[in-house]
């Protein structure tokens, strides 16, 4: 039960995000807009145009990064809302008096592999920048392993559901947004 941190950033889990639909309250997805080229660098995912789509009611919405001068203002990662449309995440549940959340099933699997490991190894590339290095202490504690893994199992089962009635009681608008640190990407010229 060993886990080696490959150094993945949280932005790398935003290719597909499960959210609560703004119209019907069911399971909707936030994905990259169709027809766009694959990003060269994973940091481009914070600036890539997105589309929210609900298979249940047909609701759609588009997001593009804000332009400020010569720069693009990207999404801010983290928190219980998706970074693009600010919709509550579909995959969240209460755990140890806190809210445990994930963007998608791949994110849940990565968290479960890390939390369940008895030996956790840091990666060689900027280890403090990885998503796993930045997890809250309560998730990393060995004494909380069983409860956190049970919470992640609940998230995994939520991923298979889509009805508004299946939504977790934790997945409601609370306004607990991530800290405001917008990412900037400068398009040519001096900074």
Closest by CA to 107, choosing from 91, 87, 95, 122, is 91
Closest by CA to 184, choosing from 72, 45, 66, 44, is 72
d(CA 159, CA 146): 20
* Domain assignment of residue 129, given as a range: 2-164
pLDDT tens, N- to C-terminus, the chain (191 residues): 889 888 888 989 999 999 999 999 999 999 998 888 888 877 888 899 999 999 999 999 999 998 888 888 888 888 999 999 999 999 999 999 999 999 999 999 999 999 999 998 887 766 677 899 899 999 999 999 999 999 999 999 999 998 988 888 887 655 444 444 455 444 444 43
Instruction: Give me the half-sphere count of Cα atoms (radius 13 Å) on the Cβ side of residue 72.
Output: 16
At residue 190, the pLDDT reads: 40
Map 53-72 to HEC letters: EECCCCCEEEECCEEECCEE
Number of domains, the chain: 1
At residue 72, the pLDDT reads: 84
In-domain check, residue 76: yes
At residue 97, the pLDDT reads: 94
d(CA 53, CA 159): 16
In-domain check, residue 174: no
In-domain check, residue 154: yes
In-domain check, residue 151: yes
d(CA 30, CA 46): 13
For the chain, how big is the Rg over CA atoms in Å? Answer: 17
Cβ 65 vs Cβ 32: under 8 Å: no
Percentages helix, strand, coil for the chain, rounded to the nearest 5? 25, 25, 50
In-domain check, residue 171: no
In-domain check, residue 172: no
pTM: 0.86
In-domain check, residue 183: no
At residue 185, the pLDDT reads: 47
d(CA 88, CA 85): 9
Closest by CA to 150, choosing from 77, 81, 79, 100, is 100
In-domain check, residue 187: no
Cβ 19 vs Cβ 87: under 8 Å: yes
Give the H/E segment covering residue 30: strand 27-32
């Amino acid at each position: 039960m060993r886990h080696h941190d490959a150094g993945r950033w949280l932005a790398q889990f935003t290719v597909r995000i499960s959210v609560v639909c703004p119209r019907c309250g069911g399971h909707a997805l936030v994905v990259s807009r169709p027809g766009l080229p694959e990003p060269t660098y994973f940091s481009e995912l914070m600036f890539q145009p997105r589309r929210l789509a609900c298979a249940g009611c047909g609701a759609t919405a588009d997001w593009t990064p804000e332009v400020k001068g010569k720069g693009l203002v990207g999404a801010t990662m983290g928190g219980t809302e998706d970074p693009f449309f600010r919709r509550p995440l579909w995959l969240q549940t209460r755990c140890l008096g806190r809210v445990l959340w994930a963007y998608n099933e791949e994110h849940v699997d990565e968290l479960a592999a890390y939390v369940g490991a008895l030996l956790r190894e840091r990666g060689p590339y900027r280890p403090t920048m990885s998503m796993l290095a930045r997890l809250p202490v309560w998730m990393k504690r060995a004494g909380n392993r069983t409860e956190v893994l049970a919470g992640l199992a609940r998230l995994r089962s939520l991923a298979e559901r889509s009805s508004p009635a299946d939504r977790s009681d934790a997945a409601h608008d609370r306004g607990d947004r991530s800290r405001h640190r917008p990412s900037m990407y400068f398009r040519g010229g001096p900074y």
